[in-house]
Chains A and B, each alone.
Chain A
Amino acid sequence: MGEKKGRFGIHGGQYIPETLMNAVIELEKAYERFREDPDFQRELSALLNEYAGRPSRLYFAEKMTEDLGGARIYLKREDLNHTGAHKINNVLGQALLAKKMGKTRLIAETGAGQHGVATATAAALMGMECVVFMGEEDTKRQALNVYRMRLLGAEVIPVKTGTATLKDAVSEAMREWTRRIEDTHYCLGSVMGPHPFPTIVRDFQAVISSEIKAQMLKKEGRLPDAVLACVGGGSNAIGSFYHFIGDKEVRLIGCEAAGRGVDTPETAATIATGREGIFHGMKSYFCQDEYGQIAPVYSISAGLDYPGIGPEHAYLYDTGRAEYVAVTDEEAVEAFEYLARTEGIIPAIESAHAVAYARVLAPKFTKEQTIVVTLSGRGDKDCAAIARYRGEKDIHE
């Protein structure tokens, strides 16, 4: 199957309306041209380094390592990027690409709001118009990010259809793109959707694993034994994994959102509970019923609350190259609190899913082994929701 473009094994493809075909073909051509263009790469590097604050730190979590008594744990601090998450890596790349393509308007979907904030930020910086689609449910869960986007000059459109969460925001952004293609680039936030998005987003996020590799070699003189990252669509995970795919001795572990548990309907763990399907432009694994109706998934984390997974993850799972584990709301919340108290770092609730699995895995490793956990974002946005989860009232966002 490898001969078909935009495929990862049987996954991927371009399952989109004819109306969008020329737009994705135009995007693919532009990307092919600019990815090799030294000027483009120079401009992007300057933005990533000077504006977004790259490279991000690889921090040795000494307290956590001591406490868990096993592997040496390193935290890849994507939470320290400008706008507070890994999303900015992809957005700066896509916004620059869109600008070179002559587009003047960016549209985006957002779950937790981090991708929306990053897109609104890039649009403000580059003088572009910006419209962000966000599930109405998520606008409530992430009210602070809604305000940030508006402050940055973006229009935020609450999506009321379906489950009013991330999947509906993606659907609505796709609908908007079919309405208005000429001046508009759809700045997709994860390694999903139709080709070439999974490849473009991966390439822009691959800076994470490229840095981890160099930083680990410098600090430890060898590669990590495992790399952990949370997975919704899977952009920070693929970014963290990508440059290690060829290094078979490095275990790659994606942490999905189990919600209230993989044996309940209130879960968003696609690998654990989904099956092969075609949705949102791609063939991949999706949570769905026997007739192919997409499941109304659930997670405490708005950013992982998505019924599918990027096609390259589906392929890494099929081939056994990466492992995927499911982490419940409760485990993630405990990890959120744990990291705050142990290391003085408040992670995004999304990233807390990876921290949670590190707590399980580290004690099983020897003290000579190392684990890298990608902290995809910071947790300020989640404080009010976690406080509510813990039964505290009247926390202002």
Chain B
Amino acid sequence: MSKIRSAFQKGKAFIPFITCGDPDLPTTEKCITEMVKAGADLIELGIPFSDPTAEGPVIQAANMRALAGGVTTDKIFQMVKRLRETIRIPLVFMTYANVVFSYGAEAFLQKCRETGIDGMILPDLPFEEKEEFLPLCHETGVDLISLVAPTSEGRIAMIAKEAEGFLYLVSSLGVTGVRGEITTDLGSIVKIVRQNTDIPCAIGFGISTPDQARRMAALSDGAIVGSAIIRIIEEYKAEAPEKVGAYVKSMKDALTAPSLP
């Protein structure tokens, strides 16, 4: 069993995202530690990219701040190695294909294995191109996480059948970012996913409030939150870790609340 699945064994999973190096790596490291303490089940670590085409303004700005601060893929691997001395929960990278390709996919995935990265999410690597990295992912035991979108009609079964780790269900059209409401018929997408795979399915994009997280997790196996966390980091900078911890706890509490309306 993939280690990622263990994140979904204790009820609905809460999956926070963080852009590594925003505003600096020590802050990122502290935020991650606080997220774990607050009950995060799996953490998405964003390796910043100069041109993050799937991101909305909030995470784009975080990518720019992180790169301006001098973070690099190697420095992030070093941070993961340090974190792994104390942190057991699954960690996955979220970045863009060129970051992996340019590093050398083999070297990148070897480093993932050595430092303890369990999976990677590449929003610009659709089903049709996954062979680019999949053989090396299998060799190193790093799950290549697949995404399903509201526009995936006719493709959901194909993607779900070959999905690994967990399936990332994109809640709505467009890029990442906080949304007032999510109107996609996610229930029927999840239904097709369930018919084709038994790996967990988590919903992301646009989720920021405990209520949204609860509703999204009720439809699936977990909720992914990025921009709302980045906003806290943007506002509080070095003081952010504690606030991020409190936020993650409020979200995780919402998911574990006994009754659902």
> Which residues in A have their C-beta under 8 angstroms from that of B64?
161-162
Known: A175-B174, A178-B174, A293-B67. A18 touches B148 (CB 8 A): yes
Q: Contact check, B102 vs A288: say whether CB atoms are below 8 A apart.
A: yes
B207, CB-defined interface residue at 8 Å: no
The chain A residue with its CB closest to the CB of B60 is: A161
Cα-based distance from A126 to B100 in the complex (angstroms) = 43
> Which residues in B have their C-beta under 8 angstroms from that of A291?
72-74, 99, 102-103
The chain B residue with its CB closest to the CB of A14 is: B128
Which listed segment binds B: A75-83, A272-280, A320-328?
A272-280
Known: A178-B173, A291-B73, A293-B49. A19 touches B149 (CB 8 A): yes
Known: A15-B124, A292-B102. A174 touches B53 (CB 8 A): yes
| Interface-central residue, A19, A179, A278, A288, by most chain B CB under 10 Å | A19
Q: Contact check, B54 vs A292: say whether CB atoms are below 8 A apart.
A: no
B238, CB-defined interface residue at 8 Å: no
> Which residues in A have their C-beta under 8 angstroms from that of B50?
162, 293-294
A286, CB-defined interface residue at 8 Å: yes
> Which residues in B have their C-beta under 8 angstroms from that of A15?
97, 124-126, 129
Cα-based distance from A17 to B99 in the complex (angstroms) = 16
Total residues of chain B contacting the partner, CB 8 A? 44
Other-chain contact of A16, B101, B126, B146, B170 (Cβ < 8 Å): B126
Cα-based distance from A288 to B100 in the complex (angstroms) = 13
- Binary CB contact string for chain B from 82 to 103 against chain A (1 if under 8 A, 0 otherwise): 0000000000000011111111
Cα-based distance from A293 to B74 in the complex (angstroms) = 13
Q: Contact check, B175 vs A278: say whether CB atoms are below 8 A apart.
A: no
Total residues of chain A contacting the partner, CB 8 A? 36
A312, CB-defined interface residue at 8 Å: no
A-B contacts counted at CB < 8 A amount to 119
A22, CB-defined interface residue at 8 Å: yes
Cα-based distance from A175 to B60 in the complex (angstroms) = 12
- Binary CB contact string for chain A from 11 to 44 against chain B (1 if under 8 A, 0 otherwise): 0011111111111000000000000000000000
Q: Contact check, B129 vs A13: say whether CB atoms are below 8 A apart.
A: yes
> Which residues in A have their C-beta under 8 angstroms from that of B96?
278
B9, CB-defined interface residue at 8 Å: no
Known: A19-B151, A167-B51, A291-B73. A178 touches B99 (CB 8 A): no
> Which residues in A have their C-beta under 8 angstroms from that of B60?
161
- Binary CB contact string for chain B from 55 to 91 against chain A (1 if under 8 A, 0 otherwise): 0110010001001000011100000000000000000
The chain A residue with its CB closest to the CB of B67 is: A293
Q: Which of A208-252 contact B (CB under 8 A)?
A: none
B150, CB-defined interface residue at 8 Å: yes
B37, CB-defined interface residue at 8 Å: no
Cα-based distance from A197 to B53 in the complex (angstroms) = 17
CB distance from A288 to the nearest CB of B (A): 6
Other-chain contact of B54, A13, A22, A178, A275 (Cβ < 8 Å): A178
Q: Contact check, A17 vs B53: say whether CB atoms are below 8 A apart.
A: yes
A168, CB-defined interface residue at 8 Å: yes
The chain A residue with its CB closest to the CB of B47 is: A291
The chain B residue with its CB closest to the CB of A180 is: B173
The chain A residue with its CB closest to the CB of B97 is: A278
Q: Which of A277-326 contact B (CB under 8 A)?
A: 277-281, 286, 288, 290-294
The chain B residue with its CB closest to the CB of A5 is: B128
Q: Which of B170-195 contact A (CB under 8 A)?
A: 170, 173-175
Q: Contact check, B152 vs A294: say whether CB atoms are below 8 A apart.
A: no
B261, CB-defined interface residue at 8 Å: no
A143, CB-defined interface residue at 8 Å: no
- Binary CB contact string for chain B from 141 to 158 against chain A (1 if under 8 A, 0 otherwise): 000001111111111000
B236, CB-defined interface residue at 8 Å: no
CB distance from A175 to the nearest CB of B (A): 5
- Binary CB contact string for chain A from 315 to 357 against chain B (1 if under 8 A, 0 otherwise): 0000000000000000000000000000000000000000000
CB distance from B112 to the nearest CB of A (A): 15
Interface residues of A (CB under 8 A from B): 13-23, 161-162, 167-168, 171, 174-175, 178-181, 275-281, 286, 288, 290-294
10 A-B contacts (beta carbon < 8 Å): A15-B124, A18-B127, A22-B154, A178-B54, A178-B175, A179-B174, A278-B132, A280-B53, A288-B102, A291-B74
17 further contact pairs, Cβ within 8 A, besides A175-B56, A178-B174, A292-B103: A15-B124, A16-B124, A18-B149, A21-B127, A21-B149, A179-B174, A180-B173, A181-B151, A278-B96, A278-B97, A278-B98, A278-B132, A292-B98, A292-B99, A292-B101, A293-B49, A293-B50
Interface residues of B (CB under 8 A from A): 49-51, 53-54, 56-57, 60, 64, 67, 72-74, 96-103, 123-129, 132, 146-155, 159, 170, 173-175
Nearest first, the 5 closest Cβ-Cβ pairs linking A and B are: A292-B102, A179-B174, A19-B149, A293-B50, A278-B97
